Amino acid sequence: MTLSAPIRKVFQGVADRRQMFRMFDRHAQRPGRWENDDSALYRGEWFEIGEAEHNYMFDVLPPLWMRGDIFAMREFLTGSITSVFFALMIDGRSRHFHGYCDLSDRRSPEVLRAAIVEREARPVRAMTRAERLEHIWSVTNDDYRGYADGRFPHALRGERVVIVYGADRCRGFQLLDRLTDTQIASKLPVHLRYLPEAIAA
């Protein structure tokens, strides 16, 4: 299974409570779940949430720790990976975020915090190709996404796949990373479809 970039935004917009809980484990269908150290699948994933969702998660359990505008969840997802929540001032606005940090690296929450601020403080609203693909993965129903199985060459098994429709309405699974620009646009909501291409930081 190909591992994603170290720090990545996985959803565009502000996730509501249902979306937030769904994205807490975007990789639940992965082959061999819990058999391997899957920390790299989660480490560095982040997305924006509302203040109500941030406060709800703060009240669920006593935090593992708090540092100013950051708190960490007591329950670990896998290995030393846990949810970290941020309340940040960006361009004079209070905003809230969830991210997965590897607490074996004490700098991880601050590194993620800096990456979120840098990404969200950009003056022009844009998306990288990788952000488009991550958004598609995040919003696609489990019935329409999965992981490459025996129908794919051995070297590609375990890679993420999504259903695509052909011109004659036939459908089949295609590797997420190999979607064409046209296929990506068709899977994005209209308000994200025509954003300019951002240069990855």
- Asked if the model's pLDDT at residue 2 lies above 70, the reply is no
- Asked if the model's pLDDT at residue 88 lies above 90, the reply is yes
What's the total number of domains in the chain? Answer: 2
The last residue of one of the domains, among 63, 93, 120, is 120
Q: Are residues 114 and 133 in the same domain?
A: no
Q: Are residues 100 and 16 in the same domain?
A: yes
Q: Are residues 53 and 138 in the same domain?
A: no
Tell me the whole-structure pTM to 2 decimals.
0.85
Instruction: Confirm if 48 and 116 have CB atoms less than 8 A apart.
Output: no
Let me know if residue 199 belongs to a domain.
no
Q: H/E element holding 76?
A: strand 70-78
Residues of the chain with pLDDT > 70: what percent? 93
The last residue of one of the domains, among 120, 144, 161, is 120
- Asked if the model's pLDDT at residue 89 lies above 60, the reply is yes
Domain that holds residue 139: 129-193
* Tokens (6 digits) for 116: 């979120």
- Asked if the model's pLDDT at residue 3 lies above 60, the reply is no
Nearest CA to 20 among 98, 85, 116, 94? 98
Q: State the pLDDT confidence band at 124, using cuts at 50, 70 and 90.
A: low
DSSP state for residue 85 in the 8-state scheme? E
Q: How far apart are CA 88 and CA 96, in angstroms?
A: 6
DSSP state for residue 155 in the 8-state scheme? G
- What's the average model confidence in pLDDT over 123-127? 75
